[in-house]
Structure 1
Amino acid sequence: MGRCCKCNGRLLCMCLLPCMMTGHLLIYVMVSIFVTMSYTPPPKIVIHYIAPGISVNTSTLASHPLGPFWNLRLEDSALWNHLQHALDRLHNPVLRGNTTGVQRKPKAKVSSEIKDESLSDCVSCKCSVPQLDLSSLPEQMKAFVWSMHCRKYPLLINQPNTCKSNDKNLGLDSPMLIMAIKSQVGNFENRQAIRETWGRSGLVTGEASKKSGLVRTVFLLGRQDSSTGPHPDLKNLLELENQKYGDILQWDFRDTFFNLTLKDLLFWHWLQQHCHNAIFVFKGDDDVFVRTGALLDYLHKQWDEHNLMRVRTNDSKRTLDLFVGDVINNAMPNREPSTKYYIPEHFFKGVYPPYAGGGGVVYSISLAMRLKDVSERVHLFPIDDVYLGMCLHKLGLSPGHHPGFLTFDLPETDRGNPCAYKSVLLVHRRTPKEMLTLWKQLQSLPRRC
């Protein structure tokens, strides 16, 4: 019997052993699941890039790259893009470094090949861009490139008292609008037609609001371009014209299409020195027609709204960044060699920034001063309207579109109808005779329409 009990105990042990092992396994699995569910792994660090460098045997310094990992040069870029890239690096505070908030003075050289003289006095005959191969550029582009680093030219005819009023009792010591018209020496007829019509200096009354504003007009000239000559000597006639009207500003640079940008730069400097008390600026060509009274109505409204906002925000230092015209977006450079707007691909690549074209824009004097400053960080471009867009883009601004600026003119069937000009502020391409005729017709516009 004892032997039988011994056998039964052994059998019982053999039967219970699998159950015990299964139970232990079940407990182990449950504990593993519980631990896995309660465990949160650390965030995975994704290594995007490791620069090859030199390891330093110290705990205070990490490895550093052997060289810069950004592209310091645009080897295959167009000439203007290459120059602008170098200028951007020159004025980049990160690349230039900054020690305790003290700004370093930029060096004169922007690269090993190109000397930047944009911040120094420069006379046209001394300007050059050394060590550049210009053989592939058209002649007019070559001439532009060789002088594009020159930004300061002697003023041959000046009008320092244009914005000074003789009657401060009327509160007219600050011009509401200064009109800067780009003209050429030989365009006497255009200038005279403007003086007798929409560009007349003096007190001008708005058409709708009847608010008056002091308007001053100046004509921006260079000297006659001898390369397109020979030209008759008009110097004495220009001096007589200036003696009579006192509205000529002339600088000593060649007056070519690609040099129109210089007129903006030089005029901004003149504004700062002689006419910073003006409120608005109109910049246009001498073949446009402007409804000056309607333009003053628009500007008075903008100025009143600006002053109201300054009161509401209690911000007396708030400035007005107004810039309006006929805005062109997503424009590409003209690649047709036969046109005057031709820009070769090896000179400039890319899309133009938004700009206002067609012969006339209006902007505030405060913005004009900002444009003057930022222009030192934008290389000259041969098309003046595009260059203004580039400067605005550098400021982080965009030009505002105004439907009253008809740069492509009215439909041909409406051009002779005075009532079609009711909403027009500017229209392009008018001869001196057409200016005089249209001005006379528009004097009775409110009653006729």
Structure 2
Amino acid sequence: MNATGLDDGGFKLQVPCGLTQGSSITIIGIPNGLLGNFRIDLTGEPLPGEPDPPIILHYNVRLHGDKITEDPVIVQNTWTVAHDWGEEERCPSPDPGKVKKVDELDQCNKIVGKDDLAASRRFNGSRKFSIVPEGSKTRTYFPFKQGHLSVATFRVGTEGIQMTVDGKHITSFAFRETLEPWLVSEVRILGDIKLVSVVASGLPTSEDLEHIIDLEALISPPLHSRRSLDLFIGVFSTANNFKRRMAVRRTWMQFPAVRSGAVAVRFFVGLHKNKMVNEELWNEAQTYRDIQLMPFVDYYSLITWKTVAICIFGTEVVSAKFVMKTDDDAFVRVDEVLASLNRINVTHGLLYGLINSDSKPHRNPESKWYISNEEWAGEKYPPWAHGPGYVVSRDIAKAVYKRHKKGDLKMFKLEDVAMGIWIDNMKKGGLEVRYEKDERIFNEGCKDGYVIAHYQGPREMLCLWQKLQETKRARCCGER
């Protein structure tokens, strides 16, 4: 962009379809001006009647400190009209002993605030600077420096956003409730920084229908309401995850059982705040006939409603013997799921999946999965199956629908745990429940012999499918 400076309104970069896992924003610039303080905000669309948009991530670099410290500091936060500013996350952290991980990375890298000689040894492996010359002042390490070029990248992970500067991981910021990355519509940069360029990459895009040769093979077979299905699979997805849905259509939705109509697959997708994204979604739904639109804007806290919808669809719209829930980044071996259900040979009171029988609520308010005592008072949860893929028998799905219809269904924001709670209540009511655990369902990643592999991007999906076709074996990608 070759920008020479920022006016009062700052620099703005439109992000038309939001951000998704793997998306990144790279800012190349030089902190300048009197203070060298600047801020980068990832903002969403303002709600009707609200003057200002929500800030999904506020990243504030203060080179000369603030009221709390005189040392350089990075402050991360969120802002909404309803709740104002959230809880600040500072780097260097005022409480280094309180370590928080996001996607297995520290909220604040330990090198920030340490002397730069220690940081140099850590990253360069060099020991020749280990002796500080007499009379010299040890400087603390900080990734930004006034008058020096910096390359800073925000990258969207599974649990939050990671920030690297000049190739070093510096901070992590966990997504906060109702402020998910797909809601980002604009990048705003303000303050004392001379911008060289701003680059967005890995953004979600819609499929160009003109370049799809095998379109007919990707259109979902029609549903016959009176025909009994062996299995109905509901897939959680969000409006801007076009690439993930297309990868699913090209891979495991091509299993013969799906193409023949014995198994039906539908994506359950909420609306987006951006009208253009919703128009793309509607066109996609019309083209492939495999999207079930939900009547609300997608928020993480509302996903349990999708579970209810899957149960309703699998028992009322179609008549399926079994109902399955999965995610759009999970590779499902439909043939092996069916084989497992046949082998188990239980058609009533069944929960099949990666069963967790010994889990406790997260009581840390900073956790994405935080549960208050009011939401769940017990010390432990009843047995439940991990969300990337679980199956319930028709009677359980039907009972979920009936209880929902009567208003007796307790909603719980962790949808996979919610299903476990509902089944436990049915068990107390006299239902004989069979918990069938399958260790071949992998909650994080892939292992050879998988039935379900989670956290698979579009390229991994296509690779897994190719390996299945070529070797007839469930082999993971990235392995010989």
Q: TM-score, normalised by structure 2?
A: 0.48
Instruction: Give the distance between the partners of 1:214 and 1:400, measured in 2 at CA.
Output: 23
**Pair 1:435-2:461 in alignment:** yes
Could you tell me which of 276, 279, 283 is aligned with 2:325?
A: 283
Match of 1:39 in 2: none
Instruction: Give the distance between the partners of 2:294 and 2:263, measured in 1 at CA.
Output: 23
Q: Secondary structure at the match of 1:353?
A: coil
Match of 2:376 in 1: 348
* Shift, 1:428, TM fit: 1.1
> Counterparts in 2 of 1:73-88, with a 5 A limit?
none
- Structure 1, unaligned stretches of length 5 or more? 1-124, 126-133, 144-158, 206-211, 307-318
Q: Secondary structure at the match of 1:333?
A: coil
- Given residue 324 of structure 2, which amino acid in structure 1 is its aligned partner? F
Instruction: Give the distance between the partners of 2:458 and 2:439, measured in 1 at CA.
Output: 24
* Shift, 1:442, TM fit: 1.5
* Shift, 1:398, TM fit: 5.9
**Pair 1:324-2:352 in alignment:** yes
Match of 1:186 in 2: 240
- Given residue 401 of structure 2, which amino acid in structure 1 is its aligned partner? K
Q: CA RMSD in A?
A: 3.4
* Shift, 1:402, TM fit: 1.3
Match of 1:298 in 2: 340
Instruction: Give the distance between the partners of 1:273 and 1:381, measured in 2 at CA.
Output: 23
Task: Please identify, of 371-380 and 178-187, the stretch whose mean Cα deviation from structure 2 is larger.
Answer: 371-380
Q: 1:441 to 1:273 in 2, by over 3 A?
A: same
Could you tell me which of 388, 398, 417 is aligned with 1:369?
A: 398
Instruction: Give the distance between the partners of 1:281 and 1:383, measured in 2 at CA.
Output: 18
Match of 2:74 in 1: none
Bigger proportion of residues as strand: 2
Match of 1:244 in 2: 287
**Pair 1:405-2:465 in alignment:** no
CA offsets per residue over residues 184-224 of structure 1, 9 Å max, x none?
1100111110011112376459xxxxxx8712110001112
Match of 2:410 in 1: 379
Q: 1:180 to 1:347 in 2, by over 3 A?
A: closer
CA offsets per residue over residues 394-441 of structure 1, 9 Å max, x none?
01136321112111334xxxx5xxxx22xx211111001100011101
Q: Secondary structure at the match of 2:386?
A: strand
Work out whether residues 213 and 296 of structure 1, in 8 Å CA contact, stay in contact via their aligned partners in 2.
no
Work out whether residues 392 and 399 of structure 1, in 8 Å CA contact, stay in contact via their aligned partners in 2.
no
Could you tell me which of 158, 161, 164 is aligned with 2:224?
A: 164
Work out whether residues 359 and 407 of structure 1, in 8 Å CA contact, stay in contact via their aligned partners in 2.
yes
Q: 1:204 to 1:235 in 2, by over 3 A?
A: closer
Instruction: Give the distance between the partners of 1:329 and 1:203, measured in 2 at CA.
Output: 32
Q: 1:216 to 1:200 in 2, by over 3 A?
A: farther
* Shift, 1:281, TM fit: 1.7
Q: Secondary structure at the match of 1:332?
A: coil
Work out whether residues 288 and 426 of structure 1, in 8 Å CA contact, stay in contact via their aligned partners in 2.
yes
Instruction: Give the distance between the partners of 1:250 and 1:241, measured in 2 at CA.
Output: 11
Task: Please identify, of 334-343 and 436-445, the stretch whose mean Cα deviation from structure 2 is larger.
Answer: 334-343
Could you tell me which of 298, 307, 320 is aligned with 1:264?
A: 307
Q: 1:324 to 1:341 in 2, by over 3 A?
A: same
* Shift, 1:293, TM fit: 1.6
Bigger proportion of residues as helix: 1
Work out whether residues 323 and 399 of structure 1, in 8 Å CA contact, stay in contact via their aligned partners in 2.
yes
Work out whether residues 409 and 428 of structure 1, in 8 Å CA contact, stay in contact via their aligned partners in 2.
yes
Instruction: Give the distance between the partners of 2:327 and 2:361, measured in 1 at CA.
Output: 21
- Structure 2, unaligned stretches of length 5 or more? 1-47, 49-81, 88-175, 180-218, 428-432, 476-480
Match of 2:298 in 1: 255
Q: Secondary structure at the match of 2:232?
A: strand
Q: How many residues align?
A: 258
**Pair 1:198-2:246 in alignment:** no
* Shift, 1:447, TM fit: 7.2
- Given residue 437 of structure 1, which amino acid in structure 2 is its aligned partner? C
> Counterparts in 2 of 1:207-222, with a 5 A limit?
214-222=262-270
Work out whether residues 266 and 290 of structure 2, in 8 Å CA contact, stay in contact via their aligned partners in 1.
yes
Work out whether residues 220 and 289 of structure 2, in 8 Å CA contact, stay in contact via their aligned partners in 1.
no
Instruction: Give the distance between the partners of 1:429 and 1:191, measured in 2 at CA.
Output: 14
Instruction: Give the distance between the partners of 1:142 and 1:255, measured in 2 at CA.
Output: 8
Match of 1:174 in 2: 228
Instruction: Give the distance between the partners of 2:328 and 2:248, measured in 1 at CA.
Output: 8
Moved over 4 A (4+): 138-143, 159-162
- Given residue 422 of structure 2, which amino acid in structure 1 is its aligned partner? C
* Shift, 1:321, TM fit: 2.2
Match of 1:444 in 2: 470
